Amino acid sequence: MAEYILETRNLGISFGGLNAVQNVNIKIKKGQIYGLIGPNGAGKTTVFNIITGVYKPTTGTFFIDGKEIKGHSQEKINHMGIARTFQNIRLFNNMTVVRNVMVGLHNRPEFKCSVIESILRLPRHFRVEKTMREKAKELLRVFDLENERNLLACNL
C-alpha cells in the first residue's frame, strides 16, 4: 500500500491553445474524503476526466496507489479503484433500486462470475447474486434508501 491512494503531480491539459487546467497537485490517503470546489469552468470536471482516463493529460502525471498511470484504459483505471458518477445520472428505469446498485458492483473482484456460469445458472451465480444484493442493501442503508429498494427506478 503506497502512502497515497491518489496522487497527482502538476497535472494539466490544454485543448487547442486553451489551458483548461494547470498544475493540479492532489494527495489523498486511503480513507480520506476530499471535495473539489471551484466556479463554473474552473476545471473540476476536466480533472475527473483525466483521473478516470477519459482525457490524457498534456503535462504532469498521476498515481493510483503508487502506480503511475500512463495510457491506461478507463476500464483498467476503474479496476484499479477509481470510479465516478456523472452529473446527469442515468438509471435502468425498469429495474428496481437495489438492482440498479447491483449493476455498479460488477467490477468488484469479489463478485466475479463468468457469463457461462450465469447462463447455466450454476451455484456460483446464485451465491454471487446473493452477496451482491446484501452489499447493495448495505450501501442503500447509508443513503437511507433501504425501504425504497424494491421500487422500480422509474417510480422514484
User: Does residue 45 interact with ligand ADP by CB under 6 A?
Assistant: yes
Please choose which of ligand ADP, Mg ion, none residue 38 contacts, taking the beta carbon within 5 to 8 angstroms, the exact cut-off set by kind. ligand ADP
φ, ψ (nearest 5 deg) of residue 103: -55, -40
Q: Is 43 in the site for ligand ADP (CB under 6 A)?
A: yes
Binding ligand ADP by CB under 6 A: which of 2, 3, 10, 15?
15
Quote the cell numbers at residue 122. 450454476
Shortest Å, Cβ 36 to ligand ADP: 8
Cα–Cα distances (Å) from 86 to 45, 51, 91, in that order, read 9, 14, 11
Instruction: List the one residue from 45, 52, 58, 118 that touches Mg ion (CB under 5 A).
Output: 45
Nearest distance from C-beta of residue 72 to ligand ADP, angstroms: 20
In contact, 29 and 3? CB cutoff 8 Å = yes
44 binds ligand ADP (CB under 6 A): yes
C-alpha cell at position 136 = 447493495
Measured in whole angstroms, how far is the alpha carbon of residue 133 from the centre of its chain?
A: 19
Q: What is the closest distance, in whole angstroms, from the C-beta atom of residue 47 to Mg ion in the complex?
A: 9
CB of 44 to ligand ADP, least distance (A): 3
Q: Give the integer Cα–Cα distance in Å for 144 and 12.
A: 38
Q: Rule CB under 5 A: is residue 52 a binding residue for Mg ion?
A: no
List, as one string, the DSSP characters of 34-92.
------TTSSHHHHHHHHTTSS--SEEEEEETTEEPSS--HHHHHHTT-----SS----
Q: Closest approach of Cβ 135 to ligand ADP, in Å?
A: 31
Task: Point out which residues bind ligand ADP (CB under 6 A).
Answer: 15, 18, 20, 38, 40-46
Task: Point out which residues bind Mg ion (CB under 5 A).
Answer: 44-45
